[in-house]
């Protein structure tokens, strides 16, 4: 990188619509593809805490305008002549969504539309940015902005490690080059890389085969709490009892098979929240001795000589022959088979589904219906009616249809006076064919599964439609409609 950073002192106006978001941003899930604006928005709001902060950012823009207190740094990709955002992706995303709320994910679209209506969109048509001559120049600023030594809000530990990992791959393990970019000491940098190598041991068959499919997916996920591994393997007793040592960035095993056997159990307890041996960022410190004692022992008596593994590309991995060791692998516990649309299930909503919505009531009601047993049929029945009402209202808001609805029924003097049957009739022309069929069935009072029955759950004393099988069938009828109206995902 050149020593001339004059580009940081020069701001250039750029169209918000023309700026491209950076798909390799360490804040994003590296396991997913980010092409559409909605892809980025889903990642930036995937956690409740992230969503709250993003909503706070949106509100600050609509109330106070866009104030570029921190630079938005972009660079020009010479292959397609487009400008990409290196620093400020979250802020630029907020501006893009406010300008085009229809591109927001369904789960937050209603909120974005409401906020978009509060701001003069021409005021955020262009913003001032700093144009870095190359991405390598932008790298320097990215590190300054997000390093642990920065006075500004930094990346999380995991995001910092992901950034180091990307630099390590990009520069083929050139530690000196990475040090010059990150300004980290050699020991700190080596520590980052070693812990990433320890995490990647999950992908070895000796570990992978001991995990269920769900456990493995959680273990390789970018959300895996890698700081737990850092704390565990920074402990002298853990390394000594498990026969692990470090040589620069290399991992040195005294007994690799025994180590991986114990390591797989550690991973199991970390990813299973319901594990009796609770391992998290707090207990790994407060209950370390108990945790270490509860995990499998590594028996060094079975090893003839020390075994060293190296991942250096110029060195061939060599392991001395060891005696046959009778290690009985733990049999993975297979998850129960999920049967969809089972009319005799005990819960209305299967645990495999999740809802992402800016509506607190919709989110909470959805989660409650996953927990409440159907033996509480009166509560569940009334909740179905309420959920349908809230889902339709949320859809009308997210698609900006409230004004059109009121114009369609001018005699009702406002949306509060337009009942659910009229709202369903109105959105019937906006949804797909399958959803139209569902609405037609629900609006036909002659059908057994009708809106009249749902209304009866709230306003009637009839009990002949309250059995579990009937409630499950009613939900299964409505579910495809809910999938179109809301952001429901199958885990």
Specify the pairing of strand 353-355 against strand 126-132: unpaired
Task: Please check the confidence at residue 305 and state whether its pLDDT lies above 50.
Answer: no
What is the overall mean pLDDT for the chain? 86
User: How confident is the model at residue 154, as a pLDDT?
Assistant: 56
| Per-residue model confidence (pLDDT) at position 155 | 66
Residue from 95, 93, 73, 94 nearest 84 by CA: 73
* φ, ψ (nearest 5 deg) of residue 242: -100, 0
Q: CA nearest 63: which of 121, 126, 118?
A: 118
Q: What is the pLDDT of residue 319?
A: 42
Closest CA to 441 of 484, 474, 467: 474
pLDDT at 114: 93
Hey, what's the torsion of the CAs at 20, 23, 28, 31, to 10 degrees?
150
Please compute Rg for the chain using Cα positions.
Answer: 28
Query: What DSSP state is assigned to residue 383?
Result: H
Which tens digit of pLDDT belongs to each residue from 354-403?
998 989 999 999 999 999 999 999 999 999 999 999 999 999 999 999 99
pTM: 0.61
| Beta partners for residue 77, in sequence order | 82
Pairing relationship of beta strands 250-253 and 488-490 according to DSSP bridges: unpaired
Q: What is the pLDDT of residues 54-107, one digit of tens each?
A: 999 999 999 999 987 788 999 999 999 999 999 999 999 999 999 999 999 998
Q: What's the rounded mean pLDDT across residues 16-45?
A: 90
| CA–CA distance, 112 with 91 (Å, rounded to integer) | 14
Per-residue pLDDT, 164? 82
Rounded to 5 degrees, what are φ and ψ at 187?
A: -65, -40
3-state secondary structure of 422: helix
- Which percentage of the chain shows pLDDT scores above 90? 56
> Is residue 349 within 8 Å of residue 366, measured between CB atoms?
yes
Contact 141, 1 (CB under 8 A): no
Phi-psi domain of 149 (left: phi exceeds 0; alpha: psi -120 through 50; beta: other): alpha
CA dist 442 and 478 (Å) reads 9
| pLDDT at residue 326 tops 60 | no
Mean pLDDT of 274-278: 85
| Cα gap 391→23, rounded to integer Å | 32
Alpha-carbon distance 109 to 98, whole Å? Answer: 10
Report for 219-223, 238-242, 302-306, 409-413: range of highest mean pLDDT: 238-242
The full DSSP string for 80-97 is TTEEEEEE-HHHHHHHHH
How far is 45 from 357, CA to CA, in rounded Å?
10
Please state, as a whole number, how many other Cβ atoms lie within 10 Å of the Cβ of residue 201.
21
Compute the distance between CA of residue 342 and CA of residue 469 in angstroms, rounded to an integer.
Answer: 9
- Residue 286's Cβ-count burial label (10 Å; 0-12, 13-18, 19+) is exposed
Helix 377-398 crosses helix 106-116 at what angle (to 10 degrees)?
Answer: 50
- Indicate the burial class of 470 (C-beta count within 10 angstroms; 0-12, 13-18, 19 or more): middle
Reported as a pLDDT band with limits 50, 70 and 90, residue 339 is confident
Our measurement of the distance from residue 124's CA atom to the centroid of its chain's CA atoms, rounded to an integer in Å, reads 28
pLDDT grade, residue 149 (50/70/90)? very low
Which residues are 130's β-sheet partners? 73
Does position 41 have pLDDT exceeding 50, yes or no? yes
Domains of the chain: which residue ranges? 6-145, 156-331, 353-490
Distances (CA, A) of 14 to 122, 139, 322: 13, 20, 64
Please count the residues of the chain. Answer: 491
Ranking 115-119, 212-216, 457-461 by mean pLDDT, the lowest is 457-461
First to last CA, the chain: 44
Mean of pLDDT values over 285-297: 90
DSSP string, 99-121: H-GGGS-HHHHHHHHHHHTTS-G
Reply yes or no on whether the pLDDT at 175 is more than 90: no
Contact 178, 168 (CB under 8 A): yes
């Amino acid at each position: 990188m050149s020593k001339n950073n004059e580009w940081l002192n020069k701001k250039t106006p750029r169209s918000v619509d023309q700026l491209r978001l950076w798909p390799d941003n360490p804040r994003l899930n590296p396991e997913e593809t980010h092409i559409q604006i909605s892809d980025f928005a889903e990642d930036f709001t995937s956690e409740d805490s992230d969503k709250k902060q993003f909503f706070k950012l949106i509100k600050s823009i609509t109330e106070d305008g866009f104030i570029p207190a921190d630079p938005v740094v972009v660079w020009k990709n010479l292959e397609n002549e487009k400008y990409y955002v290196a620093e400020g992706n979250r802020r630029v995303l907020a501006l893009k969504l406010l300008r085009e709320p229809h591109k927001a994910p369904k789960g937050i679209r209603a909120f974005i539309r409401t906020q978009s209506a509060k701001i003069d969109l021409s005021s955020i048509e262009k913003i001032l940015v700093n144009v870095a001559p190359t991405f390598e120049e932008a790298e320097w600023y990215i590190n300054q902005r997000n390093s642990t030594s920065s006075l500004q809000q930094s990346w999380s530990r995991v995001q910092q490690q992901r950034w180091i990992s990307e630099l390590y791959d990009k520069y083929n393990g050139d530690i000196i080059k990475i040090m010059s970019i990150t300004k980290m000491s050699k020991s700190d940098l080596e520590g980052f890389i070693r812990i990433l190598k320890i995490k990647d041991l999950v992908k070895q068959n000796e570990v992978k085969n001991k995990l269920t499919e769900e456990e493995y997916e959680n273990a390789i996920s970018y959300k895996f709490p890698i700081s737990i591994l850092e704390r565990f393997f920074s402990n002298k007793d853990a390394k000594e009892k498990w026969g692990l040592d470090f040589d620069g960035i290399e991992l040195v095993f005294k007994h690799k098979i025994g180590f991986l056997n114990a390591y797989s159990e550690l991973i199991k307890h970390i990813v299973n929240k319901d594990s009796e041996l609770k391992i998290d960022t707090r207990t790994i410190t407060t209950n370390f001795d108990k945790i270490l004692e509860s995990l499998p022992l590594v028996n060094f008596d079975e090893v003839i000589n020390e075994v060293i593994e190296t991942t250096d590309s110029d060195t061939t991995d060599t392991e001395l022959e060891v005696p046959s060791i009778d290690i009985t692998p733990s049999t993975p516990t297979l998850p129960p088979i999920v049967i969809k649309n089972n009319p005799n299930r005990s819960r209305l909503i299967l645990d495999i589904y999740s809802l992402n919505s800016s509506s607190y009531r919709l989110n909470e009601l959805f989660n409650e219906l996953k927990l409440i047993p159907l033996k509480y049929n009166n509560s569940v029945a009334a909740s179905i009616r309420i959920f349908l009402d809230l889902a339709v209202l949320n859809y009308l808001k997210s698609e900006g249809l409230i004004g059109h609805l009121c114009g369609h029924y001018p005699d009702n003097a406002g949306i509060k006076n337009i009942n659910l049957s009229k709202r369903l009739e109105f959105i019937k022309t906006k949804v797909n064919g399958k959803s139209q069929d569902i609405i037609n069935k629900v609006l036909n009072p002659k059908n057994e599964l009708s809106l009249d029955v749902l209304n009866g759950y709230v306003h009637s004393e009839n009990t002949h439609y309250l059995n579990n099988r009937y409630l499950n069938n009613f939900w299964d009828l409505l579910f495809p409609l809910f999938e179109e109206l809301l952001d429901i995902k199958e885990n």
